[in-house]
Structure 1
Amino acid sequence: MASVVELSYYPVKGCAGASVNEVMMTPAGPAHDRSFMVVSAEGVFRTQRRDPRLALIRPGISADGERLALGAPGHGTVSVDVDISGTRRNVDLFGAPYQGIDQGDTAAEWLSDVLGTPSRLVRVPPEHHRVTDGRTPGTSGYADSCALHVLSRSTLDLLNRKMADRGAPPLPVDRFRPNIVVDGWDEPHTEDRSHRITIGDTELGYAKLAIRCAVTLVEQESGVRAGPEPLRTLASYRRAAQGGVAFGAKFAVLRTGKVSVGDDVNVLRWGESEL
């Protein structure tokens, strides 16, 4: 039986994640996941693709979502009260226009110091009604696309075996920043074909393959781009028809509820892989 072995959520887009034993799954994914985003002075989102030092920032959000702490090596910690009623500002996420609530100068000055470039912190406003794409539409905060990224251990194990054949060291799962890691699927990339699943109280619908980008080249502990792996090895066997390389799958939340480490992963409907 397949089961959940790791759960993570990422309060601030592009920054370090929090590993937890249980999480409440909302329509936009795990509670507080990608609720915040670091942007330039012009409102353009920051990403590890261009600012790998984002990986060094470790956010902590209170259970009620009213207090956010940010910490980074050599920069201490800063805490701010979360503003959900302030003035909205325009923000840009992959060229798409959204709104964000600026979280003030204290967070902005701290982030600018850590990243070495002028930066602001914004939060998703309560009226944020984003519609995500894929076979199963859904919603998300400031995630790249869909609410959930699911990855199986067998998928990662296959990649690491192929990398070992090239003389490359294995990569930890955090290089891929999944929300849910599944063990017990013996065949790699089973998540590609699991088109409707239940976990704990929730039901999830497959949306699309996870197309990987330069973020996978960043060592999450050091905030340094290490390249060319894993993209070089993935390009040898996981090229996607739409371009790029695929690794893991994105899902939409169809029924909310609690998900815990150890929960069974039940596939209600199988489908063909898009690869």
Structure 2
Amino acid sequence: MATVIELTYYPVKGCAGTPTSAATLTPAGLAHDRSFMVVSEQGVFRTQRRDPRLAVIRPSISADGERLSLHAPETEVLDLHVDTSGERRPVDLFGTAYLGIDQGNAAAEWLSHVLGRKSRLVRVPPEHHRITSGRTPGTAGYADSSALLVVSRSTLDLLNRRLTARGAGLLPMNRFRPNIVIDGWDEPHTEDRAHHVRIGETELGYAKLAIRCAVTMVEQETGRKAGPEPLRTLATYRRATRGGVAFGTRFAVLRPGVVMVGDAVHVTSWGETEL
């Protein structure tokens, strides 16, 4: 039987993830996932594509979402009271305009020091209304696309076999920054065909394949770019018909609830892969 073996949410977009054994799944994904975003002074989101040192920033957020701490090597911890009612400011995510609540000058100074570029921290406003695209529409905070990214263990195992055959090293799952990792599917990329999924009391609907970018070439422990893998190898067998290379699958949330490591994964509707 397929089961959930990892759950990870990413409180600050682009920064390190927080593993957990149980999480509340909201319509926008795992609770607190991508609810904050680092932006330039002009409001444009920062990404590991251009700022790989985001990876070394480890956020931790209280269960009620009222306190956020930021940790980075050789830097004093920043502890913030989260502002959910302040003035909204325009932010830009992949060219689409949204709003964010600025979290103040202390956060801006801390991030600017760590990243070496003038930066500010914003939070998704409570009234944030975003419709995500894909076969199953949904919503999300500041995630790149849909609410959830799902990858199976066998999918990574296949990639690692191909990498080692080319003389490259093995890659950990965190290179791909999934929210949910599933084991028990013997066939790699089974998640591509799972169109309706039930996990515990929650239900997920297939949205789209996850097209991968240069973030997968960043070592998440060090914030160092280490390309050209895995994109070079993925390009040999995972080219998507609409361009790019696909690895993992994005899902929208059909029914919220609690999801836990160890939960069984039931696919109630299968479809053809879009690759």
In structure 2, C-alpha distance between the alignment counterparts of 1:204 and 1:214, rounded to whole Å: 27
Give the Å deviation of 1:200.
1.1
In structure 2, C-alpha distance between the alignment counterparts of 1:77 and 1:52, rounded to whole Å: 20
Give the Å deviation of 1:201.
1.1
Match of residue 189 from structure 1: 189
Amino acid of the residue matched to residue 96 of structure 1? Answer: T
CA displacement, residues 187-215 of structure 1 (integer Å, 9 cap, x when unaligned): 00000000000001100000000000000
Amino acid of the residue matched to residue 69 of structure 2? Answer: A
1:43-122 aligned at under 5 Å gives the runs 43-122=43-122
In structure 2, C-alpha distance between the alignment counterparts of 1:201 and 1:72, rounded to whole Å: 36
In structure 2, C-alpha distance between the alignment counterparts of 1:137 and 1:189, rounded to whole Å: 21
Match of residue 202 from structure 1: 202
Q: Secondary structure at the match of 2:80?
A: strand
Q: Secondary structure at the match of 1:195?
A: strand
Aligned residues: 275
Match of residue 235 from structure 1: 235
Using the size of structure 1 for normalisation, the TM-score is 1.00
In structure 1, C-alpha distance between the alignment counterparts of 2:76 and 2:30, rounded to whole Å: 27
1:209-248 aligned at under 5 Å gives the runs 209-248=209-248
Give unpaired runs (5+ residues) of structure 2: none
Amino acid of the residue matched to residue 226 of structure 1? Answer: A
CA displacement, residues 11-36 of structure 1 (integer Å, 9 cap, x when unaligned): 00000000000000000000000000
CA displacement, residues 110-147 of structure 1 (integer Å, 9 cap, x when unaligned): 00000000000000000101000000000000000100
CA displacement, residues 159-202 of structure 1 (integer Å, 9 cap, x when unaligned): 00000000001000000000000000000000000000000110
Amino acid of the residue matched to residue 78 of structure 2? Answer: V
1:96-175 aligned at under 5 Å gives the runs 96-175=96-175
Amino acid of the residue matched to residue 256 of structure 1? Answer: P
Are positions 1:39 and 2:39 aligned together? yes
In structure 1, C-alpha distance between the alignment counterparts of 2:236 and 2:75, rounded to whole Å: 40
Give the Å deviation of 1:270.
0.2
In structure 2, C-alpha distance between the alignment counterparts of 1:273 and 1:218, rounded to whole Å: 28
In structure 2, C-alpha distance between the alignment counterparts of 1:104 and 1:182, rounded to whole Å: 38
CA displacement, residues 235-254 of structure 1 (integer Å, 9 cap, x when unaligned): 00000011000000000000
In structure 2, C-alpha distance between the alignment counterparts of 1:224 and 1:41, rounded to whole Å: 24
Q: Secondary structure at the match of 1:247?
A: strand
Q: Secondary structure at the match of 2:25?
A: strand
In structure 1, C-alpha distance between the alignment counterparts of 2:199 and 2:50, rounded to whole Å: 35
Amino acid of the residue matched to residue 264 of structure 2? Answer: D
Give the Å deviation of 1:103.
0.2
In structure 2, C-alpha distance between the alignment counterparts of 1:101 and 1:112, rounded to whole Å: 18
In structure 2, C-alpha distance between the alignment counterparts of 1:92 and 1:75, rounded to whole Å: 28
Provide the aligned C-alpha RMSD in A: 0.3
Give the Å deviation of 1:76.
2.1
In structure 2, C-alpha distance between the alignment counterparts of 1:132 and 1:232, rounded to whole Å: 29
Match of residue 178 from structure 2: 178
Give unpaired runs (5+ residues) of structure 1: none
Identity %: 73
Q: Secondary structure at the match of 2:175?
A: helix
Q: Secondary structure at the match of 2:266?
A: strand
In structure 2, C-alpha distance between the alignment counterparts of 1:47 and 1:126, rounded to whole Å: 23
